[in-house]
Structure 1
Amino acid sequence: MIKNIFPTPSDTSKALVRHILELINSSNKEVFNIALSGGSTPALMFDIWADEFSDATPWQRIRFYWVDERCVAPDDSQSNYRMTREHLFNRVPVNPDNVFRIMGENNPEEEAERYSALVARQVPIVEGLPVFDVVLLGAGDDGHTSSIFPGQENLLTTENVYAVGTHPTSGQQRVALTGQPIMRALNIIFLMTGASKAPILQSFADEADSGPAAYIVHHSLREVEIFADEAAAE
């Protein structure tokens, strides 16, 4: 595990954007496949990307996918796609043909199958699973990641690329990238800010797989990188 700690959420987000751009620019690939995380934490990063790094970004080379999506319409306030569109895509010259959203308005099981097939057609396959260049993850206070919640650890080992996860409190269904393709990504990055993330970051350092996020850190094929602010790293 590689920890990158910065004073504030803004500093952390800025460093992460720079890191992603370095990965893209150092690659000789014509297409760079990134799976984006949802939730509230990446919004600041997307704002900074649009405001400060748009001109430095080779938008034509990047294909954007999602790690997970709530089963809602794309204009719903809970939509991860809507959040990314408002904070990033509407403000930069990205080609809409390079943005592949999970259709949360569709039947969840059918959409998981459709999106799995789409990713399999476009992302390089190694040993039967797609290998993203970057998978950007967050971690909930309960230790979940990619809508893989505690008690749904079968999604960490399933052979399906995307599957349906269920929020344990609200019962809301979500289409989620499963553990096996996450752990095979070339670059697995957690973005974590705020004091509420400190126990989760501590769980990464512990040996026990105390939740899905910790499991990813402990079992990934490559070393996981953490971008965190000082509050999360306390």
Structure 2
Amino acid sequence: MASSCFLRQILFSSLPTNLPSRSDPLSPPFPKNLTCSAPSTASLSISSIEILTNSRRKLSEVRSMATEKGKQEKKKVEIFDTEENLAVELAKYTADLSDKYCKEKGAFTVVVSGGSLIKSLRKLVEVGSIDWPRWHFFWVDERVVPKHHEDSNYKLAYDAFLSKVPIPPGNVYAINESLSAEAAAEDYETCLKHLVKTGVLRVSESTGFPKFDLMLLGMGPDGHVASLFPGHGLCDEKKRWVASVTDSPKPPSERITFTFPVINSSACVALVVCGSGKAEAVEAALKKTGDVPAGCVSAEEELVWFLDKPACSKL
């Protein structure tokens, strides 16, 4: 039986996007003003992107490191004078990967976290060349709260990003928040496995876990990524794709999260960190000097750290 996540995809692929919210738990309550029209803001010009790109200062390009499977991983750390410049370069990076994968395989699978990461995606809506209908949009973690709740990562992404770009609602894979945390995690994993079977998601040849094209991650001041917190047992999970959290040290306590094997099987990962309050965690993660989950993030093809100057002040 298909998961409720997949059923929601079918429902919304055939419905207009301006319908009122539904009480049916199978269908996420998309706000009434959701439209599939192109954003009205002017496209970023190539010249402006090039200027900002050339202004960035690359901290280092770490020597390729062998992964557990013997593959080579390219790891970059890039520093930007301002968060504004970081946001522009992140938009260019994401748009370039979107173009690459849409041409290669007809789709682009992208995963986001919540928090400040969504704010850093704001420049992406200004890029006029993106093939939005080919995007498939996922969350690396989510709080088990209603979608209109202020703690919802879905609401954060919808208000700041999804409502501004014409990604088909059927390609937006939100969790079923009407379930318990454990059941919601199982449902989301079932949804991912169905998308693997239908060819929407690739599978890593080396790990057997789903291989997303791009995972866009933020990091907390304690160094947590997704809902994988320092010292938590889920950091060592090796089998599950999606796990439930009922004891999050940061409220709300109930969440679902991708596990490290899924995160690290991604083709590309962008870890976006801004602010001096995260400088110590950045140092610990990059220098491997502490129990910081962000230091465990890797990618099958490329991991890029996007940092502003305050975030790298302790490097």
Query: What is the TM-score with the length of structure 2 in the denominator?
Result: 0.69
| 1:134 aligned partner | 214
Q: Secondary structure at the match of 2:282?
A: helix
* Matching residue within 182, 205, 230 for 2:286: 205
1:104 Cα offset (Å): 3.0
Task: Determine which of 267, 273, 281 is the counterpart of 1:186.
Answer: 267
Of 85, 90, 93 in structure 2, the residue corresponding to residue 11 of structure 1 is 85
For 2:242, the equivalent position in structure 1 comes to 162
**Higher relative contact order (Cα pairs below 8 Å, separated by 6+ residues):** 1
Deviates more, 1:62-71 or 1:25-34: 25-34
The equivalent residue for 1:80 is 153
Is 2:81–2:309's contact at 8 Å kept on the other side of the alignment? yes
Q: Residues 1-234 of structure 1 correspond to what in structure 2 (within 5 A)?
A: 1-27=75-101, 28-39=104-115, 41-50=116-125, 52-53=126-127, 55-122=128-195, 123-126=201-204, 127-165=207-245, 166-170=247-251, 172-208=253-289, 210-217=291-298, 220-234=299-313
State the secondary structure of the residue aligned to 1:184. coil
Quote how far apart the aligned CAs of 1:179 are: 0.5
1:125 counterpart letter in structure 2: V
C-alpha contact (below 8 Å) 1:31/1:61 kept by paired residues: yes
Q: Distance in 1 between matches of 2:178 and 2:122?
A: 26
- On the 8 A contact 1:183/1:222 being kept in 2, the answer is no
Indicate the RMSD between aligned Cα atoms, in angstroms: 1.7
Partner amino acid, structure 1, of 2:256: V
Instruction: Give the Å deviation of 1:145.
Output: 0.7
Deviation at 1:193, TM superposition (A): 0.6
- Paired residues in the alignment total 229
Q: How far, CA to CA, are the matches of 2:181 and 2:91 in structure 1?
A: 31
Q: SS at 1:226's partner residue?
A: strand
For residues 305 and 100 of structure 2, the distance between their equivalents in structure 1, rounded to whole angstroms, comes to 20
Q: SS where residue 310 of structure 2 aligns? A: coil
- Do the aligned partners of 2:143 and 2:153 also contact (CA within 8 Å) in 1? yes
Q: Displaced runs of 4+ in structure 1, greater than 3 A?
A: 153-156, 220-223
TM-score, scaled to structure 1: 0.91
Contact 2:109 2:213 in 1 (8 A): yes
Q: Deviations over 1:51-101 (max 9, x none)?
A: x22x22110111000000011000001100001101111112221111111
How far does the alpha carbon of each residue in 1:125-149 deviate from its partner, in whole angstroms, 9 at most, with x for none? 2343111111111111111111011
For the structure 1 residues 196 and 5, does the alpha-carbon distance in structure 2 shift closer, same or farther, using more than 3 Å as the test? same
**For residues 169 and 31 of structure 1, what CA distance do their matches in structure 2 show?**
34
Q: Tell me: CA distance 1:48–1:223, structure 2 relative to 1, closer, same or farther (3 Å).
A: closer
Q: Could you tell me how far 1:209 is from its partner in structure 2?
A: 5.0
Larger Rg: 2
> Does the CA-based 8 Å contact 1:209-1:215 persist in structure 2?
no
Deviation at 1:5, TM superposition (A): 1.2
Q: Residue type of the partner of 1:38?
A: G
Residue 186 of structure 1 deviates from its aligned partner by: 0.3
User: 5+ unaligned residues in a row in structure 1: which ranges?
Assistant: none
